[in-house]
Structure 1
Amino acid sequence: MKKSSFVYGSILMTVINFIIAFIGFSYDVLLSNLIGAEAMGLFQMSMSVLMIFMIITTAGVPMAVSQLVAQENSKNHKENVYQILKFSIILNFILSIVLSFILVCLSNPISEKIFKNRNMLQSIYFLVPIIIIISINSVIRGYYYGLKKVGVASVSEIINNVSRFLIVLGFLHYSYPVELEFGVLVAICGISIGEFFGLIWLILAYKRENKKSSYPCYIQLNSIDILNQIIKIAGPLTITGLINVFLGFVNKILIPNKLMDLGYSNSEAYATLGRITGMAMSLIFMPFVITSALVINIVPSLSEQMALKNYRNMKADILFAIKITLIISIPLSILYRLFSEPLAVFLYNDKKVGEYLRILSYSTVFMALQHTFSGILQGLNKHTAITINRLIGMSIQLLLVYFLVGNPKFGINGFFIGFYLRIFVIFLLDLVTLRSIVKFRFRHIN
């Protein structure tokens, strides 16, 4: 029954994720056509800044909420589930306010030193509401994933993407053509717009579902207990997220700067970054439509089964997730390799994107497996191993980007070398970690 719950939940999430991914991908394509490659490059850098200030509230806390809610719900401790949600929302709201204040204080150095564009200051200010809204949204979605009510959380994602698609693209189409900085600003505001409508849905759904609910006066978990458990789970995941985002952010600074050292203009350097990270990578991440559904479902499922010591179903779920990941990612990798230029011309009207997509096509399988492995290891409470593996991989990429991209013999190919070594190293480390855990946990039932 537990296996069926995981499988059916994953299928439902996959269908919903396809809808979300289709809307999101169409949005990225149309956005890039309306604001241009250089603006997409600046927008991607803005997202890197955003992720650094948002990672503390979104990397670990929602996953901790999902796991804790799943564990307490499996024991029918409804009062503890409510306390976990309430405490986590307050915690994330306070953290998001503090992080927003720090961002505002650092806005001038960020615009002048990182973007090298004083006109980007206003765009940085508009990152503040995104931090607050997404921090709250992520906790509530984690709560619903823990309860295995994926439909509620997924509808909020659909509302998020649809509202952003209609409002932002409609405005840009009406205002076309737009100035560089204004295009970036509108794209940033679009995130707040989508997340706001998604939050309204989540609040209304929660009030409707809990209108007649009542909880006992006696609470088994107090705030200190909840905080300790959140820190235990979220701590390593947050460190992992910070490492990934920070090193990714450094990469996005190094790449255009190193390219400019080779003679690229500022516009050419950021356009190259936009083509790789904002266009080609959007296709490479398509398997995440499936793997995200698997990860969202397998983390609370494995946590619940560990609490119940249901090891046989745990192993079956792990094997199912890996098989589905391979079935989806391998054909996509072949498709990208064979039809990279036609896809790029059709979607972006840009042959250079096709060249980058062809190079990146081989990474699709490893990226998808890496994502699935991270979810499995999270469900098995191996958060420290996830952190170490990704720190090693990202450090390798950073070093290679630093030394190779500025070398005339390699140029932008230095980024691809570092990228491939990173994902391959992380894949191998995750695989070794998972194999050691599975052998140890399940030897007695084989």
Structure 2
Amino acid sequence: MTKKNLVTGALILTAASFITRVLGFVYRIYMSNLIGAEGMGLYQLIFPIYMLAWTISASGISLSVSKLVAQENAKREYGNISRIIKISVLLSVGIGLIISVFIYYFAPWIATSILKEPRTILSLKILASCVPFMAAASSIKGYFYGLQEMTKPAASQVLEQISRMLVIYLLASFFIPKGLSYACALSVIGMCVGELVSFLYVLISYKRNKQRKKKVKKPTLNWFQSCSALLVMAIPLTGNRFITTLLSSIENIMIPIQLQAFGMSNAEAISIYGQFSGMAMPLIFFPSMLTGSLSVALVPAVSEAKAVNNTRQIHRTVSKSIHFTCLIGIGATCLFAVFPKELGLSIYNQADVGDMLYSMAWICPFFYLQATLAGILNGLGQQISTFKHNVIGSIISILFIYFLVPVYGFKGFLWAVIVSSIVITLLHLRTVLKYTSLTLELSKWVIRPALAAVASSLTAKYILNHYLLTQFSLRWSMAFTLIALTIVYIIFLFVLQSISKEDLKTLKRNI
């Protein structure tokens, strides 16, 4: 089997992520205008339950499939791969069905006792229907990630988003007039249809992929051995992710409650939560489509290199990944720090979102590095380390939310996010350096990109104020400014020798 390169896989996922996020922004802008900040807040309250369901039914199994398939592929044991994927789908669907029944029957209790929002009962019952499909799709995607065949998972992302948007558009006139409870339910219906379409696509792709392959030798692992190998890896991964996801869910659920303790009404607290989680954070994380795709591709790439003891490849992969992530993160910081109001007004027509963007701008490099470093650690088999670090960060965040939000309001929550993210990233980085013996290149990774980002953002700001705004609307002016900012930033990176022609040649060879 032809070995797929890390860069190729990351670029494929990045292209899909770019399309998905652009569509997602169109979707969020449409939804924010349709149901308002309070409606977005209700929708975001459903996400902790969604993430817990995915974590229990799919997260550990999917990552285990990715790693095991990569290892068996490196050893050319193709028969074992087929057996592993069959067992993983059976396990994930079985667990998903149990979770679906639980969510459906306990939806009133979850909504009133945990989320403290009875208007989410209908949404939770609808959400229950898609858990088995979501779990099965994640397992099959793990198969493709393990083979480093990123096209199929990437296409499924795009199809999922298109399906979601189409459902919202077609059903909006029926649901929206019925109130925020039904508006929130409409968003969940769109999400469920997207999960179903994604599952059907990856399932058909898997069937076709098997048919194209030549007959392979019998698996060397029997059913018990395959199941054991999967569970030995999946159980601790799922346990770790469950605890970290549970802590993260507690954070998200606490935010509106503690904002009310600060003195806000229920509607105000839900609205601010909706602005932050449904509007500001998607913008903050938009550039991370590049680093997020990289983190997914890193797991099988590093696992495969480790399986054959290729230390040189591990060093090269880790170094390039950290460097690339720093370039994106530092560039994003200057973008959101210099143009927060313009972005908030041009995209959502809400200046308050711009204030949130400015406050979160400085944490972008840590946000993005956190995902990349986690992918490296998972590829190195250091899941326990990522678990410990995430638990520490979540505990810090929960303590900040509990004690500071009732006193300082939303600023207390922003401090919680910033401090916990910095702590997790630094702990991840320390562990990666320990297990790879990598040397920090602060000048190339941080100082030069920072200088390039400052110079390019100030240049773009000048162009926006003195030329573009006098000729175009704010929305078009910002579109042209982003293009100019990207081009100038890349030029300054070359001038300051943070990237070189050799880097481009390496990228070209690897595509």
Give the stretch that moved more between structures: 264-273 or 210-219: 210-219
Residue of structure 2 equivalent to 1:298: 298
Answer whether contact 1:66 1:143 (CA < 8 A) is retained.
yes
Cα gap change, 1:314 to 1:402, in 2 (>3 Å): same
Cα distance in 2 between the residues matched to 1:294 and 1:15: 12
Cα distance in 1 between the residues matched to 2:330 and 2:338: 13
Residue of structure 2 equivalent to 1:100: 100
* 1:357 to partner: Cα distance: 1.2
Answer whether contact 1:340 1:358 (CA < 8 A) is retained.
yes
Answer whether contact 2:329 2:364 (CA < 8 A) is retained.
yes
Residue of structure 1 equivalent to 2:391: 391
Residue of structure 2 equivalent to 1:419: 417
Residue of structure 2 equivalent to 1:191: 191
Cα distance in 2 between the residues matched to 1:83 and 1:4: 22
Cα distance in 2 between the residues matched to 1:270 and 1:118: 13
Cα distance in 1 between the residues matched to 2:312 and 2:179: 58
* Matched residue type, 1:428: L
Cα distance in 2 between the residues matched to 1:163 and 1:256: 30
Give the stretch that moved more between structures: 212-221 or 186-195: 212-221
* 1:247 to partner: Cα distance: 1.7
Give the stretch that moved more between structures: 116-125 or 198-207: 116-125
Answer whether contact 2:400 2:415 (CA < 8 A) is retained.
yes
Answer whether contact 2:4 2:149 (CA < 8 A) is retained.
no
Residue of structure 1 equivalent to 2:159: 159
Residue of structure 1 equivalent to 2:451: none
| 1:126 corresponds to 2:126 | yes
Residue of structure 1 equivalent to 2:432: 434
* Matched residue type, 1:297: A
* Matched residue type, 1:95: I
* 1:243 to partner: Cα distance: 2.6
* Matched residue type, 2:65: V
* Matched residue type, 2:24: G
* 1:303 to partner: Cα distance: 0.9
Deviation string, structure 1 residues 127-156 (Cα, Å, up to 9, x no partner): 112211110110111101111111111111
Answer whether contact 2:315 2:438 (CA < 8 A) is retained.
no
* 1:280 to partner: Cα distance: 0.7
* 1:392 to partner: Cα distance: 0.5
Deviation string, structure 1 residues 36-82 (Cα, Å, up to 9, x no partner): 11111111111111212221123211111011001111111111000
Cα gap change, 1:436 to 1:124, in 2 (>3 Å): same
Deviation string, structure 1 residues 159-205 (Cα, Å, up to 9, x no partner): 11111112213432676555101110000011111111122211222
TM-score, length of structure 2 as denominator length: 0.82
Answer whether contact 1:69 1:81 (CA < 8 A) is retained.
yes
Cα gap change, 1:325 to 1:122, in 2 (>3 Å): same
* Matched residue type, 1:172: A
Answer whether contact 1:54 1:99 (CA < 8 A) is retained.
no
Answer whether contact 1:401 1:414 (CA < 8 A) is retained.
yes
Alignment of 1:140-155 (within 5 A): 140-155=140-155
Alignment of 1:66-81 (within 5 A): 66-81=66-81
Alignment of 1:246-257 (within 5 A): 246-257=246-257
Answer whether contact 1:6 1:301 (CA < 8 A) is retained.
yes
User: What SS does the aligned partner of 1:405 have?
Assistant: helix
Cα distance in 2 between the residues matched to 1:205 and 1:53: 25
Aligned length: 439
Structure 2 runs not aligned, ≥5 long: 440-511
Cα distance in 1 between the residues matched to 2:23 and 2:400: 35
User: What SS does the aligned partner of 1:127 have?
Assistant: helix
Give the stretch that moved more between structures: 139-148 or 14-23: 14-23
* 1:239 to partner: Cα distance: 2.9
* 1:240 to partner: Cα distance: 3.3
User: What SS does the aligned partner of 2:130 have?
Assistant: helix
Cα gap change, 1:113 to 1:174, in 2 (>3 Å): closer
Residue of structure 2 equivalent to 1:265: 265
Answer whether contact 2:404 2:412 (CA < 8 A) is retained.
yes
* 1:9 to partner: Cα distance: 2.2
Answer whether contact 1:34 1:173 (CA < 8 A) is retained.
no
Cα distance in 2 between the residues matched to 1:151 and 1:218: 27
Residue of structure 1 equivalent to 2:91: 91
Cα distance in 1 between the residues matched to 2:119 and 2:411: 31
Cα gap change, 1:8 to 1:23, in 2 (>3 Å): same
Cα distance in 1 between the residues matched to 2:52 and 2:235: 15
* Matched residue type, 2:239: I
| 1:18 corresponds to 2:10 | no
* 1:93 to partner: Cα distance: 0.6
* Matched residue type, 1:354: G
Answer whether contact 1:236 1:387 (CA < 8 A) is retained.
no
User: What SS does the aligned partner of 2:437 have?
Assistant: helix
* Matched residue type, 2:223: S
Alignment of 1:298-337 (within 5 A): 298-337=298-337
User: What SS does the aligned partner of 2:148 have?
Assistant: coil
Cα distance in 1 between the residues matched to 2:140 and 2:4: 25
* Matched residue type, 1:99: I
Residue of structure 2 equivalent to 1:444: none
Give the stretch that moved more between structures: 11-20 or 78-87: 11-20
Cα distance in 2 between the residues matched to 1:7 and 1:118: 46
Cα distance in 2 between the residues matched to 1:173 and 1:280: 27
TM-score, length of structure 1 as denominator length: 0.93
User: What SS does the aligned partner of 1:381 have?
Assistant: coil
Q: Displaced runs of 4+ in structure 1, greater than 4 A?
A: 173-178, 212-217
Deviation string, structure 1 residues 290-344 (Cα, Å, up to 9, x no partner): 1122122111111111111111011101111111111112111111111111111
* Matched residue type, 2:340: S
| 1:62 corresponds to 2:55 | no
Residue of structure 1 equivalent to 2:237: 237
Give the stretch that moved more between structures: 102-111 or 381-390: 102-111
Q: Percent same amino acid among aligned pairs?
A: 31
Answer whether contact 1:3 1:313 (CA < 8 A) is retained.
no
Answer whether contact 2:4 2:148 (CA < 8 A) is retained.
no
Deviation string, structure 1 residues 68-125 (Cα, Å, up to 9, x no partner): 0011111111110000100000000111111112222321211222344434322111
* 1:227 to partner: Cα distance: 2.8
* 1:437 to partner: Cα distance: 0.3
Answer whether contact 1:400 1:417 (CA < 8 A) is retained.
yes
* 1:401 to partner: Cα distance: 0.6
* Matched residue type, 1:339: F
* Matched residue type, 1:438: T
Answer whether contact 1:145 1:297 (CA < 8 A) is retained.
yes
User: What SS does the aligned partner of 2:6 have?
Assistant: helix
Cα distance in 1 between the residues matched to 2:273 and 2:190: 21
